[in-house]
């Protein structure tokens, strides 16, 4: 697979003809905002003949099936199914018809149970080890108290089995772990993970929080966990010190300095991870008070002691530091040597130079990322480091005024905007990042984003430093080129699941 930069006068048809590849394959790889309009500086992935395809499986249509019902069952879109199958009339499918479904493996089918005298939904859920809410939802029970002997119920699968990881498309890059954060949204998570899971090793599900007494606040993470395990991806529980809309220094202080509350929290975390199917945890405590540096380290040690006997991974997310004595609330409590010793893996959050409240600049300028890595590898073993990679764009008004905030939006939308505004995408060779400027309603604006070139530069940097891999924030960012590019450039390492 190669990266091609759009030139004036280019069209998708002409590019397909030039490289001798099917037009539809270019469209599938890049999902361009417009099929009839491109902009200079836009990048496209161009496939090669021997390029492996993402995994799929076959499904035989059953009586009563519709495309909508099948798409819901497997967590994909109708468009995904239509793109892989020759279906002249989407409203007409027939029993016995074999459909190709995107994804590594079909999710487990529900079993059936005939209600016995004395049964209640609660007793049935306990017998089969499933949640009451899942049982009610699967059977569409308007009044859960009205079940009767002889009634047949569908029983959801208790645990999604961990299949043999599917073969992942691999290119010339180095063996690497790819972690992706996902902001848990419930049912939509299944569809998203099914779409991009072939290019992931771990899925950090964001986020669990906690009360001052250590009580754990849980989230609707079952769809994400099930989809991850079905594709050979290790789900990681992400724990944050978020209160309301942001990270809270006081909440971290309370748990780090209260041994009883901390023990309560750790016990709940281990129980939840083992019960729900997590393979480990990601600790993302941000804006921790400087005086809580050592209590934070001790919390990590205590957590490690509880996780290790259960075979659970411990990972953490750290601010991008360039020296041990870097000043600032974001940095001082993040002890690189301690986390490098205690944790199995460490996410370096090498993004947010171009942050919402600051002046316009690349979100992850590679020259600055390299400064962080130069320091990090002296304190943390490179084979434990996951380098952070952003999957979003930002749009600032210029000249920038203190107190204004940039708009955060998707890479796909940013590319669409360049075409709508008729402006080219430029590329900063120092930051190794694309950007563009446009004017709307008399206001000049500047946008920084990612593209295939900037991602490739980051992957090459991770390989140069011999890092364990990369970590994406976050997988809901619409950036269609990212996933096939990762699969092509890396030998993505799937974890050994229990």
Q: Where in the chain is the domain with CATH 3.10.350.10?
A: 2-46, 56-102, 111-155
Strand positions, DSSP E, 211-362 = 216-217, 234-240, 242-243, 246-247, 280-284, 313-318, 345-348
469 pLDDT band (50/70/90 cuts)?
A: very high
What is the per-residue pLDDT across 379-391, written as a single tens digit (0 to 9) for each? Answer: 999 999 999 999 9
Q: In this predicted structure, which of 48-52, 154-158, 450-454 has the lowest mean pLDDT?
A: 48-52
Averaged pLDDT of the chain: 91
Greatest distance between any 2 Cα atoms in the chain: 74
Strand positions, DSSP E, 411-480 = 426-428, 433-440, 443-448, 469-473
Which of the two residues, 192 and 90, has the higher pLDDT score?
192
61-75, 163-177, 248-262 — most confident range? 248-262
Give mean pLDDT, residues 479-483: 95
Strand partners for 395:
407, 447
The CB density around residue 314, as the number of other CB atoms within 10 Å, is 23
70 pLDDT higher than 90? no
| Fold exhibited by the domain 111-155 | Membrane-bound Lytic Murein Transglycosylase D; Chain A (3.10.350)
Q: Which residues are catalytic?
A: 286
83 pLDDT higher than 80? no
Give mean pLDDT, residues 56-69: 84
79 pLDDT higher than 80? no
162 pLDDT higher than 50? no
Query: Rounded to the nearest 5°, which phi and psi values hold at 389?
Result: -130, 125
Which of the two residues, 272 and 91, has the higher pLDDT score?
272
161 pLDDT higher than 60? no
Q: Domain spanning 175-492: which CATH class is it, in words?
A: alpha beta
Q: For the range 118-124, what are the long-range contacts, defined as Cβ-Cβ under 8 Å and sequence gap of 24 or more?
A: 119/147, 119/149, 120/147, 121/145, 121/147, 124/153, 124/155
CA 79 to chain centre: 21
Give mean pLDDT, residues 361-373: 99
- The reply to whether the predicted model has a pTM over 0.85 is no
What is the per-residue pLDDT across 109-146, written as a single tens digit (0 to 9) for each? Answer: 677 889 988 888 877 877 787 777 777 877 878 776 77
pLDDT at 64: 82
Q: Where in the chain is the domain with CATH 3.20.20.80?
A: 175-492
DSSP 8-state class, residue 323: S
Q: Domain spanning 56-102: which CATH class is it, in words?
A: alpha beta
Query: How far lies 12's CA from each of 16, 39, 80, 240, in Å?
Result: 6, 11, 21, 44
What is the per-residue pLDDT across 244-279, written as a single tens digit (0 to 9) for each? Answer: 999 999 999 999 999 999 999 999 999 999 999 999
| Fold exhibited by the domain 2-46 | Membrane-bound Lytic Murein Transglycosylase D; Chain A (3.10.350)
Quick one: 468 exposed, middle or buried, by C-beta within 10 A (0-12, 13-18, 19+)? Answer: buried
82 pLDDT band (50/70/90 cuts)?
A: confident
Which of the two residues, 357 and 83, has the higher pLDDT score?
357
């Amino acid at each position: 697979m190669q990266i091609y930069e759009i030139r004036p006068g280019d069209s998708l048809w002409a590019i397909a003809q030039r490289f001798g590849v099917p037009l539809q394959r270019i469209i599938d790889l890049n999902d361009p905002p417009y099929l009839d309009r491109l902009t200079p500086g836009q990048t496209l992935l161009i496939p090669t003949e021997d390029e492996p395809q993402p995994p799929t499986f076959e499904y035989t249509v059953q009586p009563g099936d519709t495309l909508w019902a099948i798409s819901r069952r497997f967590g994909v879109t109708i468009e995904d199914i239509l793109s892989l199958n020759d279906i002249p009339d989407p409203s007409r499918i027939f029993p016995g018809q074999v459909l190709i479904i995107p994804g590594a493996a079909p999710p487990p089918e529900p079993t059936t149970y005939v209600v016995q005298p004395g049964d209640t939904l609660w007793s049935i859920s306990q017998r089969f080890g499933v949640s009451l809410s899942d049982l009610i939802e699967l059977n569409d029970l308007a009044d859960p108290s009205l079940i009767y002997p002889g009634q047949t119920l569908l029983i959801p699968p208790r645990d999604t089995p961990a299949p043999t990881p599917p073969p992942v498309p691999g290119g010339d890059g180095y063996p690497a772990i790819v972690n992706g954060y996902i902001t848990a949204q419930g049912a939509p998570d299944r569809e998203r993970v099914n779409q991009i899971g072939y290019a992931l090793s771990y899925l950090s599900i964001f986020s669990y929080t906690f009360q001052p007494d250590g009580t754990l606040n849980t989230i609707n993470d079952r769809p994400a966990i099930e989809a991850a395990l079905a594709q050979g991806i290790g789900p990681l529980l992400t724990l944050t010190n978020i209160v309301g809309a942001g990270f809270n220094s006081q909440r971290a202080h309370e748990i780090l300095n209260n041994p009883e509350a901390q023990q309560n929290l750790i016990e709940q975390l281990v129980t939840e991870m083992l019960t729900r199917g997590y393979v480990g945890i990601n600790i993302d405590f941000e804006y921790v008070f400087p005086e809580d540096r050592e209590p934070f380290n001790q919390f990590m040690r205590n957590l490690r002691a509880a996780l290790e006997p259960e075979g659970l991974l411990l990972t953490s997310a750290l601010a991008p530091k360039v020296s041990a004595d870097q000043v600032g609330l974001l940095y001082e409590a993040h002890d690189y040597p301690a986390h490098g010793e205690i944790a199995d893996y460490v996410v370096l959050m090498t993004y947010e130079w171009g942050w919402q409240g600051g002046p316009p600049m690349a979100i992850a300028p590679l020259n600055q990322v390299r400064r962080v890595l130069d320091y990090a590898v002296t304190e943390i073993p490179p084979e434990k480091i996951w380098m952070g990679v952003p999957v979003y764009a930002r749009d600032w008004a210029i000249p920038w005024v203190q107190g204004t905030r940039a708009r955060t939006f998707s890479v796909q939308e940013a590319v669409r905007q360049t075409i709508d505004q008729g402006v080219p995408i430029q590329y900063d060779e120092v930051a190794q990042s694309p950007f563009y400027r446009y004017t709307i309603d008399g206001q000049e604006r500047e946008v920084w984003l990612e593209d295939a070139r900037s991602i490739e530069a980051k992957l090459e940097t991770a390989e140069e430093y011999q890092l364990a891999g990369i970590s994406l924030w976050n997988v809901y960012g619409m950036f269609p080129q990212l996933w096939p590019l990762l699969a092509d450039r890396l030998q993505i390492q799937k974890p050994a699941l229990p």
